[in-house]
Structure 1
Amino acid sequence: MLNLLRRLICFPFKLTGFLLFGEMEIQTLKQYNVLLLGTCFCLVFTGFNTMGGIQTLIFNSATTNGSGGYVEGFHGNGYWSLAIIYMVFTAANIDISHCLYFSPRVTMIVGAVAYGLFIAQLLILNDILLYVSSALLGVGAAIIWTAQGNFLSLNSDDSTMARNSGIFWAMSISSSFIGNIFVFFMFSRSGTEYIDEATRNTVGIVLLCVTVAGTCLMFFLRPTPWAESTTSAKGPLEALKDSAKLFVTKDMLLLSVTFYYTGVQQNIWSSVYGTSIGYTNAFGKEAKDLTAMSGIFVALGEVLGGALFGIFGSLTVKRGRDPIVLLGFILSMVAYFLAFLNLPNSSPLGATDDKAFIESNKYLAIFTSFLLGFSDACFNTQVFSILGGTFKENSSSAFAIFKFMQSFACAIAFWYSPVLKLYWQLLIAVVLDVLGTLAFCFVEWRRNKDSSKLQDTSCGLEQEEHQSEN
């Protein structure tokens, strides 16, 4: 019965793809899928990534009487909304069987719908609607990201995984760049420290339309017939058992430390840092505009990093992934130190007149944003690469574990973000940065060593066979 249901659901997607595009060469089809996948995620996440950086400020206006954006009876908290998203995200990643049972294309479309519903609640601010849509988004995020990892892996091989990971990351994360440019001009036009109702509704409508466009575009992703026989062979229970077995392996346990750090880092760049800039009164009336500008430069760093690692993806095949992760480690440590110097300790908690260690400098704040984005791209592109390459046979399980740990870290971080001062949050990030980098490099070095031994053994066997023939 379940097999029949899966075939009925997937049939319209297969038929649409065949009628529109006919037959393609496999390599051309794979390239098409990767580029379209990046475009879809760029559009879908233009809404969510932009919301993540500004919703705390929007909700602050909505709960402040006389702000122009005040909503009577609304007491929503942006940090807690994000915490709910990532808590449900974490729980939903425990069971990734749905991503294996239906095709990844169908699963991604269902997940994208949840993102659209979350953006739509911005137009009708209500406490219950906010937190319910946050919970639904947590489920949607779990299935869309696990399916994305599986789909990217199916359209890549060992020689193209690093390149495709970089291309996808650059395209998808450019969503923040697009969204924050739009928000910057919208907020600048309002001319006040608060976000009025008209501005809030305009932002919500535009972000919702873009998210819906990305969801519709997913219908044009092509199926992967060369791999469908393997992805549909396992039942839900077997898939869950495979995930558990993979999680307790030595390499995956070590990589889980890296995964956890990427979640804490995401909390810093996507919400805490921009909010801290917006609440620093030393920046004056420019603080609100700087929040949007910070998001633009974070995205610029993300896009530049992803593009570079995509263009020069062949270098990671030759020299390994660890140099890029080490670069990300250095840049992130510099970024955390600059944030420590430039922003007041109490800045994540609300508007503050407190002084930083140095006189708060808006140019230094924006430069730090760029470093945060570029360093995040270093880590995430290489995590995508190692999961899609080294764990290709269990890509759905591997990506589900990655998103489980990352979302778990985000959930915890978003819970303590409204109550923990900036310096403590930066200290947590620094400690995990060190541990995550060491864990990733250890796995990469051990994998390279094992691969070299295997090649030497193969060469030795070939030489022995050649000598015996002579």
Structure 2
Amino acid sequence: MADKRTCNVVILGLAFLLIFTAFTTCGNVEQTVVKSLQNDTLSGSGFHSLGIIYGIFSFCNLLAPAVVSVIGPKFTMFLSGLLYSGYIAMFITPSTWAFYLTSVLIGIGAAMLWTAQGHFLVENSEASTINRNTAVFWALLQCSMLFGNLYVYLDWNGRTEIPDGSRKNIFLSLLVASVLGTLSFLLLRKNRPEEEMLSEEEGQSLLSAQMMYQHRASSAVQDAKAEFKTILQLVKGRTILLLSPCMAYSGLELAFYSGVYGTCIGATTQFRAAAKGLIGISGIVVGVGEIVGGGLFGLLFKNNCFRRTSVVFLGMVVHFIAFYLIFLNIPVDAPVVFHTTTQNKPYLTPSVSVALLCSFLLGLGDSCFNTQLYSVLGHVYAEHSTPAFAIFKFIQSVFAAVAFFYSGYLLLMWQLLLMVILGFTGTLCFFIVERMQNAATDIQEY
């Protein structure tokens, strides 16, 4: 049984690796591709598409638990994977209506996918294996930022324009990866006997089966209502209110490193023929920063209460250094949607090494904030972890959606300033929460 559970976790991680190799790479190059197709077969904005995805994702999180309870995590993930594949396939033969329709559908699929993933991971873990299984899954997931972006670099390096043949080849390869990941969900096996199997007499009665299905559906609805009430109670609490600025900041910087920064690099004329290829390398280096930070702060220095504030402070400093270097190294109008490249010059001569250093710092800082937010929520809300994490993903996704919508119109310096203000506020509030928790612990010990 233990081997079967471990096998399930590895298959789950590999399936997410394949699917998010496709989706993460797509998000990184999407705005650049859409710009190259303007006034041709597709009009719109990649930033708007990503904003729709995260907006729908945030609100569908409230309904996803009921769906997973009714049809099960395995088939929920399979159906969600099909929606991801449909979004990738749209870029092979693009059209405006399909672009925005699949954006809505993948937002729904993302909520179902991540809710089912959490359910399945817990189902295949015990108290002694949950940390190991989470680490295995996280490591495989973060590797998704490496392979697709490497392909983009190898194919786009030296190109100033993106020809149709190159675009179709890349997205066809990403589609194959996404489909393989989706089919991998069918290899997942049940790790325990069915607790709700029909008895021999019940199995002979179609009516009994229908009654059992109705009971399961009714139970799922009741569970969803109970979770929603818990969410409302937690939102009113002081801890969640204080952590909200930090959660919101994680959404803004998620949008920036996953879609905006790569677009800025690709639009910088001073990088010449290397600009488009650097989008892929930037995505790889962000992934390396995420893996290094997740491994360092997620696995080391455990059970140290002071660690959380130290790591969050480090994340803030790392991000602020990255923002300052980006401000000096990238033209201020690079993310604007109205042109494919910018002729403006930044304060310094654009440097490839500085641009990639900033990519690493963005990934490292992001891992600092996310690992510690997960840690403090798991510590404070040990008995209500699912609603607490649902609130976190909701706030993060809403602000990521907002960031994607304004990113195509707001100059780079104002985007960076917003993140600096919210990042400082979020870090300060995180410190207050830690101080409150430490004081409460001291009182209990006394």
Q: Which amino acid in 2 is paired with 1:252?
A: I
What is aligned with 1:194?
A: 161
Residues 158, 447 of structure 1: CA spacing in aligned structure 2 closer, same or farther, 3 A cutoff? Answer: farther
Partner SS, residue 358 of structure 1: coil
User: Shift of the alpha carbon at 1:364?
Assistant: 0.5
Alignment of 1:104-119 (within 5 A): 104-119=73-88
2:287 alignment partner, one of 295, 299, 307:
299
Quick check: 1:333 aligned with 2:320?
yes
Measure the CA separation in 2 of the matches of 1:309 and 1:126: 43
Partner SS, residue 408 of structure 2: coil
What is aligned with 1:49?
A: 24
Q: Which amino acid in 2 is paired with 1:51?
A: C
Aligned-residue RMSD, C-alpha: 2.8
Partner SS, residue 360 of structure 1: coil
Moved more, 43-52 or 148-157: 148-157
User: Shift of the alpha carbon at 1:142?
Assistant: 1.7
Q: Which amino acid in 1 is paired with 2:141?
A: S
Q: Deviations along 1:248-307, whole A, 9 cap, x unmatched? A: 222222222222111100111011111111111111111111111111111111122222
What is aligned with 2:302?
A: 316
Partner SS, residue 344 of structure 1: coil
User: Shift of the alpha carbon at 1:363?
Assistant: 0.7
Aligned residues: 420
User: Shift of the alpha carbon at 1:154?
Assistant: 5.4
Quick check: 1:262 aligned with 2:237?
no
Q: Which amino acid in 1 is paired with 2:79?
A: V
Quick check: 1:393 aligned with 2:379?
no
TM-score, scaled relative to structure 1: 0.81
1:253 alignment partner, one of 217, 241, 250:
241
Quick check: 1:210 aligned with 2:146?
no
What is aligned with 1:287?
A: 275
Measure the CA separation in 1 of the matches of 2:112 and 2:236: 22
Partner SS, residue 317 of structure 1: coil
Measure the CA separation in 2 of the matches of 1:73 and 1:109: 30
Residues 183, 306 of structure 1: CA spacing in aligned structure 2 closer, same or farther, 3 A cutoff? Answer: same
Measure the CA separation in 1 of the matches of 2:330 and 2:124: 43
Measure the CA separation in 1 of the matches of 2:120 and 2:380: 15
CA contact (8 A) 2:18 2:181 kept: yes
What is aligned with 1:373?
A: 363
CA contact (8 A) 2:66 2:223 kept: no
User: Shift of the alpha carbon at 1:151?
Assistant: 4.2
Partner SS, residue 32 of structure 2: helix
Q: Deviations along 1:373-409, whole A, 9 cap, x unmatched? A: 1111112222233344543433332222122111100
Q: Deviations along 1:134-183, whole A, 9 cap, x unmatched? A: 00011111222233344445566778766655543332122111110011
Partner SS, residue 350 of structure 2: coil
CA contact (8 A) 1:42 1:171 kept: yes
Alignment of 1:36-435 (within 5 A): 36-63=11-38, 72-98=40-66, 101-102=69-70, 103-152=72-121, 165-188=134-157, 191-221=158-188, 234-312=222-300, 315-319=301-305, 320-349=307-336, 350=339, 351-435=341-425
CA contact (8 A) 2:251 2:400 kept: yes
Partner SS, residue 195 of structure 1: coil
Measure the CA separation in 2 of the matches of 1:164 and 1:260: 28
The unaligned stretches of length 5 or more in structure 2 are 197-218
TM-score, scaled relative to structure 2: 0.85
Measure the CA separation in 2 of the matches of 1:36 and 1:89: 24
User: Shift of the alpha carbon at 1:99?
Assistant: 5.3
Moved more, 370-379 or 317-326: 317-326
Partner SS, residue 115 of structure 1: helix
Measure the CA separation in 1 of the matches of 2:345 and 2:263: 16
Q: Deviations along 1:336-380, whole A, 9 cap, x unmatched? A: 111111111111113111111111111100111011011111122
CA contact (8 A) 1:93 1:401 kept: no
Q: Which amino acid in 1 is paired with 2:402?
A: I
Residues 198, 344 of structure 1: CA spacing in aligned structure 2 closer, same or farther, 3 A cutoff? Answer: same
User: Shift of the alpha carbon at 1:104?
Assistant: 3.7
The unaligned stretches of length 5 or more in structure 1 are 1-23, 65-71, 458-470
CA contact (8 A) 2:155 2:277 kept: no
Q: Deviations along 1:218-258, whole A, 9 cap, x unmatched? A: 334455769x99x9695332222222222222222222222
User: Shift of the alpha carbon at 1:30?
Assistant: 5.8
Q: Deviations along 1:427-450, whole A, 9 cap, x unmatched? A: 111111112222233333433443
User: Shift of the alpha carbon at 1:217?
Assistant: 2.1
